Amino acid sequence: MIPFISPGATLGVMGGGQLGRMFVHAAQQMGYFVAVLDADPASPAGLVAQYHIQTDYLDEQGLAQLMQRTAAITTEFENVPARALVTLGAHRPVSPGGAAVAVCQDRLAEKAHFVRCGVPCAPHAAVERADQFAAVDEALFPGVLKTSRLGYDGKGQVRIATSAELEAAWTSLGQVPCVLEKMLPLAFEVSVIVARAASGRMVHFPVQHNLHRAGVLAVTQVPAPGVDEALAQQACAAAERIAESMGYVGVLCVEFFVLDDGSLVANEMAPRPHNSGHYSIDACDLSQFDLQVRAMTGAPLVEPRLHSPCVMLNLIGDLWFRDGDRERAPDWASVLELPGVHLHLYGKASARPGRKMGHLTVTAPTAAQAREVALQVAQRLGIEAF
């Protein structure tokens, strides 16, 4: 159990990206102070937190400072070395804990956990050494070869048509430990975000419908089109089982594939708030970041309620280069005049193609209206229609 840590205390977060920034905003709104640990002096969360410890994740002095300053610690970045969390966890409540984060950092461990929970995942095989190529089942082709660790936003993975391409693909990924997954016929993708307290109480957000482009989340719609009550219940129950059986504390996102035959397959999970849950800031009465604060401080967890149908559009750096090589901010005024538009920019100094610069959530009285306005926003900003 985590004894309730009252507002006025200082909370710590490992990582200073946009997820950390939105966590800082939620924590500060409730009257907490926040210390961010991130080496980047211009990190989005470091810019808005009361304290910014500018060291690497494994720097002993940095970790010691974070512990001295804070009453409880969380993470916003899933690749924080799990052992840094274990070190911190010996002295402060750390949620999620290092052991749970370690499972999420390794695609093989993650899949093994899904299987243990009775949740289907893609047929797969470990590809860790060249002498394993011959034994790989032909039924896994065409497939996707993914690095076991450190992949994100479609990076660290290659699609391969036949076993003849396996060696070249593995070499292109740096010959690191990988997982080969069978390419599945996706109808669409969804995710579920759960929050679990140290007491075991769990709450979840509604199922989110996610459209990825080039491996990066582009559009999230809630309520999720094409998801009936039975499928929603199946996804939420699976996400809760996955959290429960790890003894997870904090916010966890599970990404799923819905296949052409309607079946549900777990893809991967993230031990933190997730890009597909950003809509919750504007469309729910409690956001995923509010629940992250509550879970780590031992505050009661209350079921979040979607009060407005919504569409979230990711604002990727490419939108800053519509004129060619010269960086120019999109015409925000042209979209802020539309009803129900909530603009979130992460304070990143410069744009780069593929970089997540911000997001925008459109809320409306009906899903059809949210979609209609979001399509107008997309057209004005140069985002492909969905």
Q: Does 106 bind ligand ADP (CB under 6 A)?
A: no
Q: What is the dihedral of CA 49, 53, 57, 59, to 10 degrees?
A: -170
Q: Is the Cβ of residue 25 or residue 124 nearer to ligand ADP in the bound state?
A: 124
Q: Judged by CB under 6 A, does residue 110 bind ligand ADP?
A: no
Q: Which stretch binds ligand ADP (CB under 6 A): 181-189, 297-305, 321-329, 365-373?
A: 181-189
Residue 281's φ and ψ, nearest 5 degrees, are: -60, -45
User: Is residue 189 a contact residue for ligand ADP (CB under 6 A)?
Assistant: yes
For residue 201, the minimal CB distance to ligand ADP (Å) is: 28
Site track 131-170 with ligand ADP (rule: CB under 6 A), x = hit: -------------x-x----xxxx----------------
Min separation Cβ 208 and ligand ADP, Å: 13
Distances (CA, A) of 349 to 18, 47, 356, 360: 13, 11, 12, 18
User: Which residue, 160 or 295, has its beta carbon nearer to ligand ADP?
Assistant: 160
Residues 191-220 as x/- pattern, contact with ligand ADP by CB under 6 A: ---------------------x--x-----
Is 186 a binding residue for ligand ADP by CB under 6 A? The answer is: yes
Q: Give the count of residues interacting with ligand ADP (CB under 6 A).
A: 17
DSSP-based three-state secondary structure for 273: coil
Q: How far is CA 372 from CA 62, 76, 156, 208, 366, in A?
A: 48, 32, 35, 18, 10
Distance of alpha carbon 303 from alpha carbon 135, whole angstroms:
47
Q: Give yes or no for a contact between 45 and 17, defined as CB atoms under 8 angstroms apart.
A: yes
Strand positions, DSSP E, 183-226? 186-196, 202-204, 208-213, 216-222
Q: x/- string (CB under 6 A) for ligand ADP, residues 233-272?
A: ----------------------x-----------xx----
Interface residues with ligand ADP (CB under 6 A) are 122, 144, 146, 151-154, 181, 183-184, 186, 189, 212, 215, 255, 267-268
